Amino acid sequence: MTLTEILADVASHIGMSISTNTRITTTEATAWINQAYRTTCSALAKVNVNYFNGEEIEADTTDGTASYTLPTDFLVMKRVEIRWDDGEDRIRVTPIDINQLQGTTTPDAETFSQENPYYYLWENKIYFLPVPDETSSTWTTNPGAAYKLWYYEMPADLSGSNTPVTPAAYHHIFAYFAAAQACVGKLDNPQKADRLEAKWQNGMFRLISENTLKDQNKPMSFRIVRGRTTETGIWRP
């Protein structure tokens, strides 16, 4: 569904038209829809849906600098790789929580190796352990590509004929949330707001549960059951 179609659903739920000058304006309804959209994107990223909107970036390191600013659309990290010298392959960096650092939050005061590097996130930055010791922009083979991030991004807000990147089967639930906000506010209809909120919550629950394991290409496992039994398994004599 496009934003225009979702707005039409909102109008249907509240039983009145939506435009620039109506009681519930297009601007208000669009803001509520985007609130629901951002909530949904965050929830899908949290449950690690690998098909969800992702991004990859490469960047330079600076000698003696541990921290680097994350992309402005960063939502959740998926994978990090780094190379320490020009022309070498990048290796995977292991995540570590800041609470696992012993005695200090200053990375260069800890003992970490380039063969087994770590990273942690704090505010809007990524910190590498050990601290990079080369300014990679001077490299001749791999300038601008010392480290690489794979991450889930927060998509831009919906506008005009834009379509959400979330599963199409659940685009309609954004209208439930927006209509509920209208009913609990300007329309002063708490009973209807509660019903619409329940539909929004139920839709979110089903969306997450049905899309958590989107990749069904998993190794099959089963238990061998010996003898005659009604227990589930493969029967062997």
CA–CA distance, 221 with 204 (Å, rounded to integer): 30
Which DSSP string do the residues of 104-167 spell out, in sequence order?
A: -S-GGGS--BTTB-EEEEETTEEEEESPP-S-GGG-SSSTT-SEEEEEEE-PPPP-TT---SS-
Helices of type H across the chain: 3-14, 26-46, 173-184, 190-211
The pTM (predicted TM-score) of the whole model is: 0.74
Cα 20 to Cα 25, 26, 154, 189, 224: the distances in Å are 5, 6, 27, 22, 66
Count CB neighbours of 144 within 10 A. 10
67-124: pLDDT as tens digits: 999 999 998 899 999 999 999 999 999 999 888 887 655 555 557 899 999 999 999 9
153-210: pLDDT as tens digits: 888 999 988 899 898 999 999 999 999 999 998 999 999 999 999 999 999 999 988 8
Residue 168 DSSP code: G
